[in-house]
Amino acid sequence: MSEQEIRVPDLGGADEVEVIEILVNAGDSVAEEDPILTVETDKASVELPSPSAGKIVNIIVKVGDKIKEGDVVGTLSSDSVDSSDSAGSAGSSDGASDGASNRSSAPEPKAQSDDAPAKPDDSTGKPAPQKKSGGTRTEIVKVSGLDGFDDIPIIELNVSEGDDVDVESALVTVESDKATMEIPSPLAGKIGKILVKEGDKISEGDDLLEMIITDDGADDGDDADDSAPADSIDAGNNSPAEPEPSAAPLAAPEQPAAASDNKAKPADTGSATYEVPAAGSKVHAGPAVRKLARELGVDLARVKGSGPKSRIIKDDVHGYVKAQLQQAQQGAVVPGAGTSGIPGVKLPDFSQFGEVEREGMSRMMSVTALNMHRSWLNVPHVTQFEDADISDMEDFRKSLKALGEKKGVKMTPLPFMLKACAAALAELPQFNVALDMDRKEVVHKKYIHIGIAVDTPHGLMVPVIRNVDQKGLWELAAESAELASKARDKKLKPAEMQGACFTITSLGGIGGTAFTPIVNTPEVAILGVSKAAMKPVWDGTAFQPRLMLPLSLSYDHRAVNGADAARFTSALARLMGDIRTLLL
């Protein structure tokens, strides 16, 4: 029996993906290619397969973790793995699988001296100097600043032995029946022995942990003060120098997002956001994080917490600021956030009208919403309508049914539309461009890749068929069916959703007479197809019953003018009206 690391395979170009589901447990037997995890990129959910058959030893990632190609996500035991390989990998996976073993490689706190710990100076609450050894000394950090709360349970240890911490780094999180709060470090140093555990109830003055301080020549008695920046905590009560408005010194009361709207608002964050948490969700953040947010002008109600119980940590605030800057550079917009001078949508309290339930958006839904809104605001849309007479095309398509059954491929109207669009794009190449507004350039594409919108239970996906102009109807029928089924089974790779020049969104199998699709930027046009219907068509002498296919072409009016749009839909109607012309 040997062990093998389970690593993230090629993600088809996606840099970092988020784990949204873990599909196996330790002890599960899996076959090669069995799905282990589901991850979500900006465009799709994808299952990561097992590299071989075996038994799951452990999975070391959790839902919400970000992983990239090559990362180890777990360990698999298998008889068939090469032993030399597995020996090495088992060792490293052990290390990765357990945070504690990682931590064990961190320098051990130095042994304590024989001296009994000195009593804290209760008048100041300053940690009591306990031990000196060479350039380091150990001090006991005590609970302080609980302001009247007693016996509050610890819900989380925020540090581990060997961690380096700064002044105000969160040491533990406690939760009273009114608030969740972090107890910040009064000192910078290395965490020694932790004297409490999760679930313990603590009160003012209780011993929390040992801290190893490296002396830098400063006076022993005043190191705590020396190590603290002028505006950091007061060692007497550990409260932030800048107290939270309406909050106890250490307390970070849970507040509805709306309530925090009243707090100091950033000058520029109303226009874009990192990831807006659901309205009404609580802001969990400790004093140090709140202080950082105030310094950077960040409204914490707009920041998504990545810590336990969605607590906001410093990295989240930095990530938010980074995303803001990137979005500002890219001219990005956020739905409902009051962008581009447009007032945001204010939500009423729906519960006053009846029962409601809230559900977090999936990442795909929020990314799709963002993309739709970005396109809607950035692209001057116009939609051109046309009816194509597909009576003959349908006769021909139906005549292929028996052959299709033999080939195992269903010939729907979609491959004909793909072929017609490829021919129209070749005929009118002004539709096969992207606009680079920064450089004032038009990017002409010399390839014809077409995206097809696929309706799936987990949202809209747009796989891309490459070189449509070079493929025959059967090939297109097989490829579009395969991509649509992969999309529905969450098996699409990110690369299979990139590179489209144009998109077809067909609602013809469902119904409707026309609609106005939104251009899938940076493409400049999209064809919406509605349900074909028999209509009376005047042939010059009489009305004839003809099967008419409604086409709705939305286009970016910066790239394409109305006359060209009319030419494009006319070309489509001509090509589908007489499919022999597709051969020309």
Cα separation, 103 vs 556, whole angstroms: 55
505 lies in the site for ligand CAO, by CB under 6 A: yes
| Residues 6 or more apart whose Cβ sits within 8 Å of residue 535 | 387, 545, 546, 547, 548
507 lies in the site for ligand CAO, by CB under 6 A: yes
CB 507, min distance to ligand CAO, A: 5
Q: Nearer to ligand CAO by C-beta: 497 or 549?
A: 549
Cα separation, 559 vs 126, whole angstroms: 68
Q: Nearer to ligand CAO by C-beta: 227 or 530?
A: 530
**155: which 2 tokens?**
């819900």
Q: Which stretch in 109-117, 123-131, 219-227, 524-532 sits in contact with ligand CAO by CB under 6 A? A: 524-532
**Residues 242-261 interacting with ligand CAO (rule: CB under 6 A):** none
Amino acid identity, position 472? G
CB 484, min distance to ligand CAO, A: 4
**Residues 540-579 interacting with ligand CAO (rule: CB under 6 A):** 549
414 lies in the site for ligand CAO, by CB under 6 A: yes
Cα separation, 330 vs 371, whole angstroms: 12
Q: Nearer to ligand CAO by C-beta: 280 or 472?
A: 472
Q: Where are the beta strands (DSSP E) in 462-570?
A: 464-465, 502-506, 525-529, 533-538, 543-556
CB 552, min distance to ligand CAO, A: 11
- Angle (nearest 5°) at CA 333 between 40 and 490: 15
Amino acid identity, position 142? K
Q: Which letter does DSSP use for residue 438 in this model?
A: T
Q: Nearer to ligand CAO by C-beta: 325 or 534?
A: 534
- Angle (nearest 5°) at CA 211 between 218 and 176: 125
381 lies in the site for ligand CAO, by CB under 6 A: no
Q: Nearer to ligand CAO by C-beta: 300 or 454?
A: 454
Cis-peptide, bond into residue 522, ω within 30° of zero: yes
* Pair 305, 320: CB distance under 8 Å: no
* Pair 250, 287: CB distance under 8 Å: yes
Q: Nearer to ligand CAO by C-beta: 312 or 547?
A: 547
Q: Nearer to ligand CAO by C-beta: 294 or 381?
A: 381
Active-site option among 318, 444, 458, 557: 557
The helix (run of H) or strand (run of E) holding residue 319 is: helix 314-330
Q: Which stretch in 64-72, 292-300, 374-382, 454-462 sits in contact with ligand CAO by CB under 6 A? A: 454-462
Tell me the site size for ligand CAO, rule CB under 6 A. Answer: 19
Q: Which stretch in 115-123, 140-148, 264-272, 409-417 sits in contact with ligand CAO by CB under 6 A? A: 409-417
Site string for ligand CAO, 455-474 (x = CB under 6 A): x----x--------------
519 lies in the site for ligand CAO, by CB under 6 A: no
* Pair 6, 36: CB distance under 8 Å: yes
CB 509, min distance to ligand CAO, A: 3
Cα separation, 211 vs 162, whole angstroms: 9
Whose tokens are 């106890």? That residue is 248
CB 411, min distance to ligand CAO, A: 8
* Pair 321, 292: CB distance under 8 Å: no
CB 497, min distance to ligand CAO, A: 13
497 lies in the site for ligand CAO, by CB under 6 A: no
529 lies in the site for ligand CAO, by CB under 6 A: yes
Cα separation, 444 vs 432, whole angstroms: 6
Q: Which stretch in 127-135, 211-219, 317-325, 450-458 sits in contact with ligand CAO by CB under 6 A? A: 450-458
Report the interhelical angle of 413-427 vs 562-577 (nearest 10°).
130
Task: Report strand pairing: 189-194 vs 207-214.
Answer: antiparallel
CB 331, min distance to ligand CAO, A: 23
Closest CA to 408 of 510, 486, 482: 482
428 lies in the site for ligand CAO, by CB under 6 A: no
Interface residue with ligand CAO among 224, 532, 548, 560 (CB under 6 A) is 532
Q: Where are the beta strands (DSSP E) in 125-188?
A: 128-133, 136-142, 152-157, 164-165, 170-175, 179-184
CB 460, min distance to ligand CAO, A: 5
- Catalytic residue flag (residue 557): yes
Cα separation, 222 vs 186, whole angstroms: 12
Q: Nearer to ligand CAO by C-beta: 211 or 476?
A: 476
CB hemisphere CA count around 118 (13 angstroms):
15
Cα separation, 464 vs 44, whole angstroms: 13
Interface residue with ligand CAO among 48, 370, 454, 559 (CB under 6 A) is 454
CB 469, min distance to ligand CAO, A: 19
Q: Which stretch in 114-122, 189-197, 209-217, 412-420 sits in contact with ligand CAO by CB under 6 A? A: 412-420
Q: Nearer to ligand CAO by C-beta: 514 or 566?
A: 514
CB 449, min distance to ligand CAO, A: 16
| Residues 6 or more apart whose Cβ sits within 8 Å of residue 542 | none
388 lies in the site for ligand CAO, by CB under 6 A: no
Catalytic residues: 557
Which residue ranges make up the site for ligand CAO (CB under 6 A)? 412-414, 452-455, 460, 484, 505-509, 517, 529, 531-532, 549
